Structure 1
Amino acid sequence: MRMYLVDSFTDHAFAGNPAGVVLLDAPAEEAWMQSVAAELKHSETAFVVTTGEGAKPLRWFTPVAEVALCGHATLATAHVLGGDQVFSTKSGELRCTADGGWVRMDFPADRSEPIEIDPAAALPGVTVEHVAKGKFDLLVVAGNAAQVRELRPDLDAIRALDVRGLTVTAPGDRDGIDFVSRFFAPAKGVDEDPVTGSAHCTLAPYWAGRLGRDELVGEQASPRGGVVRVHLNGDRVTLSGQAVTVFSGELHA
């Protein structure tokens, strides 16, 4: 089987979010896919069946669990396969379109709702201005971008929350950046995800409502960093990013 390592949401290697991509001729056993993802140790590894007609079956695994939606590994898969792609996933049909060196991904919007919970203990140094919950994650709005960039979270406290992960966000502090964010999912084996496409399905509706614009640019301010363009269109979000193939080879196990 062919296997690739792709850095997503970046235009150069060793930045953005690395994802494994494994090309399959037929559906694989779940336990085997989980073992491969654990071996590779990326925040997500994508497994896509490339044979047959119609939408290509696509699944994503962290080192410890399968997830229902993943943006950067979808971007990596579309980058490897090239051209326009349609994937069949646990979050429905996802369409990807090549666009001049970028990949545009049509994802479901995840509108968050305010929730009565105090995450301050998990986020030392953060002035919590708003807390909401989407389908998968907790969304916390911080007082400013510096608090997001300098955050050293309590991962044990985040792990105890009944969510996939926690997104911390604030208004942008640089030209061309509308908002910044970071994402933590220690319960899923990902202490900090470098760039999280699926989190932007929640970030896009929030910031579109707050800023009054449907087209925005987000910076995920992790140590590797990355940029995600978002376009809110009703109950869908277009996520756009670039990707770079770092490694390709054969998987023998």
Structure 2
Amino acid sequence: MKLPIFQVDAFTDKVFGGNPAAVCPLEQWLPDDVMQRIAMENAVAETAFFVPLDMGYEIRWFTPEIEMDLCGHATLATAHVISKHLRPAPSSIEFHSKSGELTVTIEETTLTLNFPSRKPKPAEAPQVILDAIQKKPVEILKSRDYVLVFDDEETIRHLEPQQSILDQINLDPGGVVVTARGKEVDFVSRFFTPQSSIFEDPVTGSAHCSLIPYWSEKLGKTSMLALQLSPRVGKLFCEDLGARVLMSGEAVTYLEGYITV
């Protein structure tokens, strides 16, 4: 069986930046184990699979290890593939997912995700997370992911979490977000996933479903600019709508081809 595949760098306007995602258009769903093995073979943070519906598309996301409940950058990448390669120039695309309805609007080169808000609540982190991070946060919260807040951007930039320690805990499908106010942007973050082949995710849209409502309240503003400080760096234009959040960015195609399964 021959299937089309694209690889897209999301939340960036340059190849080799942002977060790479593989995108596989399907006419009908493949068995789950086949999609999982394709994601493993692709060896990027997420592979998105989608099938057409009467209205919009159904979408699913797989890391090399597990199926995810929500993924921002791979949804952005999928909308880019549809709008640039499959059905040029739609103004919006609707996706149906395990996290409900997701909409992507498109204006020139900018794609905007409309996702559910996941406001984090105060929590206590397992000691293994604190041991791995090696710095004491000023605040700890949790939604799907643990959110550790620090005093300044430089702390986030220079953190060196110990993967061997963090791998002692299983947070599937979540991870650990570290965040702080930014110097030239509103807030910065990084995202780490225990027991994952890709320990630090380059740009994590789903984590911003928690970061946006948190920082909106802290900063007293609804429109914000965020940077994810991975080596590849990702820029997100964010807006808090209450029950929903908006995340905007660009995407570029790196690869277009076929796989044989």
Whether these two folds match at TM > 0.5 is yes
**2:60 counterpart residue number:** 59
Amino acid at match of 2:21: A
1:197-208 to structure 2, matched below 5 A, reads 197-208=205-216
**1:128 counterpart residue number:** 137
Identify which of 130, 148, 164 aligns with 1:156: 164
Q: Do the aligned partners of 2:104 and 2:113 also contact (CA within 8 Å) in 1?
A: yes
Q: Does 1:14 align with 2:16?
A: yes
Q: Do the aligned partners of 1:62 and 1:189 also contact (CA within 8 Å) in 2?
A: no
The CA deviation at 1:144 is: 1.0
1:45-194 to structure 2, matched below 5 A, reads 45-50=47-52, 52-82=53-83, 83=90, 84-117=92-125, 118=127, 119-124=129-134, 126-134=135-143, 136-161=144-169, 163=171, 164-174=174-184, 177-194=185-202
CA distance in 2, matches of 1:186, 1:241: 27
Count of aligned pairs: 248
CA distance in 2, matches of 1:130, 1:151: 16
Q: Do the aligned partners of 1:158 and 1:165 also contact (CA within 8 Å) in 2?
A: no
Amino acid at match of 1:53: D
- Mark the runs of 5 or more structure 1 residues left unpaired by the alignment: none
CA distance in 2, matches of 1:140, 1:90: 26
CA distance in 2, matches of 1:246, 1:121: 38
The CA deviation at 1:106 is: 0.7
Q: Does 1:242 align with 2:250?
A: yes
The TM-score, its normalising length taken from structure 2, stands at 0.92
Amino acid at match of 1:109: S
Aligned residue for 2:55, secondary structure, equals: coil
Amino acid at match of 1:198: S
Q: Per-residue CA shift, 1:28-64, capped at 9, x if unaligned?
A: 11000000000010000000113x4113110000000
CA RMSD of aligned residues (A): 1.2
The TM-score, its normalising length taken from structure 1, stands at 0.95
CA distance in 1, matches of 2:41, 2:25: 16
The CA deviation at 1:241 is: 1.0
Larger mean Cα displacement after TM superposition, 26-35 or 159-168: 159-168
Q: Do the aligned partners of 2:213 and 2:242 also contact (CA within 8 Å) in 1?
A: no
Aligned residue for 1:49, secondary structure, equals: strand
CA distance in 2, matches of 1:109, 1:189: 27
CA distance in 2, matches of 1:170, 1:5: 31
Q: Do the aligned partners of 1:109 and 1:237 also contact (CA within 8 Å) in 2?
A: yes
The CA deviation at 1:160 is: 3.3
The CA deviation at 1:132 is: 0.3
Amino acid at match of 1:173: K
CA distance in 1, matches of 2:187, 2:59: 30
The CA deviation at 1:244 is: 0.3
CA distance in 2, matches of 1:120, 1:188: 18
CA distance in 2, matches of 1:160, 1:143: 27
Larger mean Cα displacement after TM superposition, 112-121 or 219-228: 112-121
Over the matched positions of the two proteins, sequence identity in percent amounts to 40
Q: Per-residue CA shift, 1:63-112, capped at 9, x if unaligned?
A: 00000000000000000001221111000010111022110111000010
